[in-house]
Amino acid sequence: MSTMTKSLNAWNNFWQPTGKETKLSDIGSQDDSLESFWLQAFKVAIVPSKKTKLLDLASGYGQVIQLANLANRASDCLETHSIDISPSALQQINIQSPNTYTVCANLNAIPYKDASFDIVTSQFGVEYAGLSAISSALRLVNETGKIIWVCHKKNGSIYQECLDNFNQLNLFINSNFVPHFLDAFRLAYSVAEGREKEVVFQAADEKFSISINKLKSQLSVDSKKSQALLLIQKLYSDVAHIYQNMHDFKYSEILIWSDKIHKDMSDYRERMSSMVDSALDETKYKKLLELLHDNDFTINKKRELYFTRSQELPAAWAIIATKM
């Protein structure tokens, strides 16, 4: 399976409904300063008396569309469209914003005609598809139309969070904690049922002990706990409880549970990897600005966006530009 396919599958799984309000790795999207940025931008960009067509790129669960509708709630002039490569994400948008037109497509092959929209937005989306997707997106803006984009910033606060999560998940997966736990759990039952010798279980239990020690070392780091590390800590406690009370659990149930844990952790790591890889450094950011200039856009605002919860480092690049 290619890296691109793994990433797409990981994000599609992420956007599937779970009944939870907050999802793992939904980093930054709930920040008050981000919401404030969008509401202020829409207050200027959306004219209540004028019909406005808006396209949101790589929409995720559609927060930008929700904020656009919130900013425009006194008028019915806004027509919203969403494009995302994840069917699961678009299903969520259809539920939360049923009047939005949704299209499942890659940002490098957007199925809209040139100059189709008055506003093209992106919140941590277009940069995932690379600079080639940016050119594809810019052609969609009509004359006097706008782009309003918030992009991941390399070495910013979100980037650092994602990188820390990725590194912690790598350590956890490479410790073989879950596979060694499963082997020891299975063999303990086999010994109890007379199908295996005690020495076989002891060898598996020793391997599991090595994984436990690796994980203890990882969890003992005296620093601010990342989201991934808190998840690993919870998993460690759950496994300890199961192992100490293994006769209260069926192996078939634990096997299903562990398969889900492995899949969730692998998907989580893949999402963190894609977020880190998508972040724009100074060189790519300048290239983006050059593409805007080359496509006849005038930049109205460009700045580093700081989040309320993390003022030490900027979180993102924020750009508003008008097609001339």
Provide the pLDDT for residue 312: 87
Mean pLDDT for the stretch of residues 239-245: 89
Please indicate, yes or no, whether residues 268 and 294 belong to a single structural domain of this protein.
Answer: no
Domain that holds residue 85: 31-156+279-323
215-228 tens-digit pLDDT: 888 888 755 678 89
For residue 92, what is the enclosing H or E element?
helix 87-96
Q: Are residues 35 and 146 in the same domain?
A: yes
C-alpha R_g of the chain: 24
- Shared-domain flag, residues 287 and 268: no
Show the beta-strand stretches assigned E in the chain.
52-57, 78-84, 101-104, 117-123, 141-152, 297-305, 316-323
Residues 268 and 298 in one domain: no
Q: In the chain, how many H helices and how many E strands?
A: 11, 7
Query: Does any domain span residue 88?
Result: yes
CATH of the domain at 295: 3.40.50.150
Q: What residues contact 50, with CB distance under 8 A and at least 6 apart?
A: 77
How far apart CA 90 and CA 271 sit, in angstroms, is: 18
Q: What is the pLDDT of residue 20?
A: 41
152 and 216 housed in the same domain? no
Do residues 141 and 84 both lie within one domain?
Answer: yes
CB atoms within 10 A of CB 216: 10
The one-letter amino acid code at 125 reads G
Q: Is 297 exposed, middle or buried (0-12, 13-18, 19+ CB in 10 A)?
A: buried
Q: Take residue 175 and report the two structure tokens written for it.
A: 């410790």
Within this chain, do residues 319 and 185 fall inside the same structural domain, yes or no?
no
Claim to verify: residue 40 and residue 147 sit in the same structural domain: yes
Q: Residues 268, 180: one domain?
A: yes
User: Using one digit for the tens of pLDDT, what is the confidence trace for 5-14?
Assistant: 555 554 455 5
Question: What's this model's pTM, rounded to 2 decimal places?
Answer: 0.86
Where does the pLDDT of residue 272 fall: very low under 50, low under 70, confident under 90, or very high at 90 and above?
very high
Per the structure, the count of domains in the chain is 2
H or E, element range at 165: helix 157-174
What does DSSP say about strands 297-305 and 316-323: parallel, antiparallel, or unpaired?
Answer: antiparallel
